[in-house]
Amino acid sequence: MKTPYDFSNKVALVTGAASGIGLACAQTFASGGARVIVADRQRDVGEAAVAGIRQAGGQADFLEVDVADPASVQAMVDATMALHGRLDIAVNNAGVGGRRNPTDRYSLDDWQHIIGINLSGVFHCLRSELPAMIAGGGGAIVNLASILGSVGLAGTPAYTASKHGVVGLTRTAALDCAPQGIRVNAVGPGFIETPMIANALADAAMTAHLISQHPIGRLGQAQEIANAIAFLCSDQASFVTGSYYTVDGGYTAR
């Protein structure tokens, strides 16, 4: 799907871009003329994503990254600058769901793993991306939160805490960076048909339950999230920063 927004002469970096929402974002930016960095831990899948973007006429390169490792994140940004000399757009999308367990029985290893990727990973990305954007005179960043950035869900203490943290981190970074011409926003998807919830969707009863939680009457598609992110990164959103946009089919309006 070609985006209505013009990203010509822009460099866009998307983490977790080998599949799901990240891939839809990478494809959308490329369709608008951006030079896209597809960043992911999965090299084979990421390189396949790049091949698909190029086949469709877009410009893309793959960089391997582990967002939980600050050195890996810095290397990703350094490589982006070496390739293109600038960074205009960043979508910090990489994340994991993790196992569900009540708070009192949640393992320390699972907690640290999820917080390390979903929250610390976003911080590592911001910490490396912002200096590059400041050097270039500005930019736009979108961090992926979740509907669980504003509500809770039993059995998800780490995931929910991480996504609430992303919202707070987004607002703080927006305040810190507004004078440098950098806008920072967060998007909170509802349940989207992506590989992250593939196991849940294999169960018909669970699928029906998830759909019932969305007043619009269905689950979301990755492209619908990418469309919102593209707007937030476009010049049409020039007065939007520090915001948390839920794109959730009415889930949080109940």
**Residue closest to 143 by CA, chosen among 13, 1, 4, 19:** 13
Residue 6 lies in a domain: no
Q: What tokens appear for 96 in the block?
A: 């994991």
Residue 5 lies in a domain: no
Band (204; pLDDT cuts 50, 70, 90): confident
Give per-residue pLDDT as tens, 80-127: 999 999 999 999 999 999 899 999 999 999 999 999 999 999 999 999
pTM for this prediction: 0.96
User: What is the percent of the chain with per-residue pLDDT over 70, rounded to a whole number?
Assistant: 100
Backbone angle region of 99, left / alpha / beta, with phi > 0 → left and psi within -120 to 50 → alpha: beta
User: What is the percent of the chain with per-residue pLDDT over 90, rounded to a whole number?
Assistant: 91
Residue 2 lies in a domain: no
Residue 149 lies in a domain: yes
Q: What tokens appear for 181 in the block?
A: 């011409």
Dist. CA 100–CA 187, nearest whole Å: 23
Band (231; pLDDT cuts 50, 70, 90): very high
Q: Which domain holds residue 175?
A: 11-248
Domain of 35, CATH number, reads 3.40.50.720
Residue 232 lies in a domain: yes
Catalytic residue selected from 5, 106, 159, 251? 159
| Number of domains, the chain | 1
Interaxial angle between packed helices 108-118 and 120-136, expressed in degrees from 0 to 180 and rounded to the nearest 10: 10
Amino acid (1-letter code) at residue 162? S
pLDDT for 201: 76
Residues 245/248/250/254 CA torsion (nearest 10 deg): -90
Work out the end-to-end distance of the chain between its first and last CA atoms, rounded to an integer number of angstroms.
Answer: 31
Residue 253 lies in a domain: no
Residue 254 lies in a domain: no
CA distances from 21 to 17, 178, 194, 253 (A): 7, 26, 7, 22
Give per-residue pLDDT as tens, 122-160: 999 999 999 999 999 999 999 999 999 999 999 999 999
Residue 141 lies in a domain: yes
Q: Inform me whether the pLDDT recorded for 79 exceeds 80.
A: yes
Which long-range CB contacts under 8 A does 167-170 form with residues at least 24 apart? 167/244, 169/119, 169/122, 169/123, 169/126, 169/143, 170/143, 170/145, 170/242, 170/244
Count the Cβ atoms, other than its own, within 10 Å of residue 185.
25
pLDDT for 195: 80
159 is catalytic: yes
pLDDT for 224: 98
